Amino acid sequence: MRFLNETADEAVIEIYGQIGYEGWTREEDENTARLMSEELNRIKSLNAKRITVKINSLGGDVNHALAIHDMLAEHPAAVTTQINGLCASAATIIAMAGTERKMSRNALFLIHQCSSYVGRANEERLAQELETQKTVNGRMLDIYHTTCKGREAEISDLLKANNGQGRWLTATEAKDLGFVTDIYNETRKSARYSLSAFADNGLPALPEEYADLAVMDEARSPWQSVLEAVARYFNPDNQPKNQTHTDMKKLFPLLAALLAVQDSATYDSEKGLSVKDEQLKALEAKLGELDALLKEKETLLNEKQALTDEKATLTAQLATLTADRDRLKAIVDKVPGQTPAVAGADPAKKPEDDIQSYVSGSSLYQEIKRDI
């Protein structure tokens, strides 16, 4: 996201790339609702009369897109959205925020149902996720229907096309349906996306006549990808606050396996990674060592827990004994040191009448004294 030509008359905002990407640091944030909010507040203070939002994006996080759409739609300035290249998925939601919506004749437009990564989920979680997706799809349809009045049935069918992946629309088709209000002539096609980006975003392939909007992925070995990922992970400058390393525990066995065969394994871009029998044995040995370490760690953790429990029990016993000691000491402190004098002749004293002697000689007193 870039902000250009910020004047009292017009502010130009470019939204290129993934919607809602939040990097390790704030400097790496890309097309997030936070960035848009900060900039729109600044534009509002300039009293800009117009805002032009240029879009070239395959989409991304629908929550960020919905938030950005609402912020633009509610801004007091007149908003114009301008599509040059590709506008798909979540990016189309932002495009609908403009009162004027322009699209390059060379560009393509695509809406589809929302999707999410559920992972290993049970029946209840799947049902909950289904309801969430229905809600989000309904929110998107409300925005599209509000913009494309009178074409509600066609828009709903388009959202479900191709098993929910949608269908690419040309600028003319997008204008006919009401997604855009004007078509302008761009001298060149401007998108720069790798083929893998389409698969990562769950988008269908481009029409044949627009195939040059995508480029081949750069050839890379798996070692390069792994090493770069690990380097980024352990770079202290890239660590966000409160970042936990739970995911690294899942990654460690894979790293151990890769490191075991990195010197001799061969990689073919078409066939993938191949290893020999001795390399598989080395892998097995490394994983065996890892398994032994994990079991030893589990044993130590169990022993630590047992000691912690024992300490808690002893602490509770100590507190009980201390309370008993204090209670008994209070009883002894209340015993008078001597019998008060009585006027007149006292009768002959019996041993039990001499309280001090009686108490001092009692077995209970001796037992209490020993406890104290």
Task: Tell me the pairing of strands 10-16 and 50-57.
Answer: parallel
Mean pLDDT lowest among 183-192, 220-229, 234-243: 234-243
Residue 194 lies in a domain: yes
Looking at the chain, the whole-number percentage of residues with pLDDT higher than 90 is 22
Q: How far, in Å, CA of 208 to CA of 137, rounded?
A: 29
Count how many domains the chain has.
1
* 272 vs 371, more confident: 371
Residue 297 lies in a domain: no
- The CATH number for 117's domain is 3.90.226.10
* Residue 87 near residue 55 (C-beta atoms within 8 A): yes
Confidence of residue 240 (pLDDT cuts 50, 70, 90): very low
Residue 165 lies in a domain: yes
Mean pLDDT of 274-279: 65
Q: How far, in Å, CA of 71 to CA of 37, rounded?
A: 7
Mean pLDDT of 30-46: 76
* Residue 78 near residue 51 (C-beta atoms within 8 A): yes
Q: How far, in Å, CA of 328 to CA of 305, rounded?
A: 35
Q: pLDDT per residue over 313-348, tens digit each?
A: 888 888 888 888 888 888 888 877 665 665 666 555
- Token couple for 227: 């090493």
Residue 7 lies in a domain: yes
Query: Residue 280: pLDDT above 70?
Result: no
Q: pLDDT per residue over 88-129, tens digit each?
A: 999 999 999 999 999 999 899 999 998 877 767 788 888 888
pLDDT on residue 87: 92
Q: CB count, 10 Å around CB of 253?
A: 14
Mean pLDDT of 80-87: 92
Confidence of residue 139 (pLDDT cuts 50, 70, 90): very high
Residue 71 sits in which domain range? Answer: 2-215
> DSSP characters for 239-285?
PPTT---HHHHHHHHHHHHHHHHTTT-EEETTTEEE--HHHHHHHHH
Residue 204 lies in a domain: yes
Residue 335 lies in a domain: no
Q: Where are the beta strands (DSSP E) in the chain?
A: 2-4, 10-16, 50-57, 78-88, 100-104, 108-110, 169-170, 182-184, 193-194, 214-215, 266-268, 272-274
Residues 352-355: contacts with CB within 8 Å, 24+ apart? Answer: none
pTM: 0.56
Residue 81 lies in a domain: yes
- The residues with which 190 forms a beta bridge, in sequence order, are none
How many alpha carbons fall within 13 Å on the CB side of residue 259?
A: 11
- Token couple for 59: 């989409």
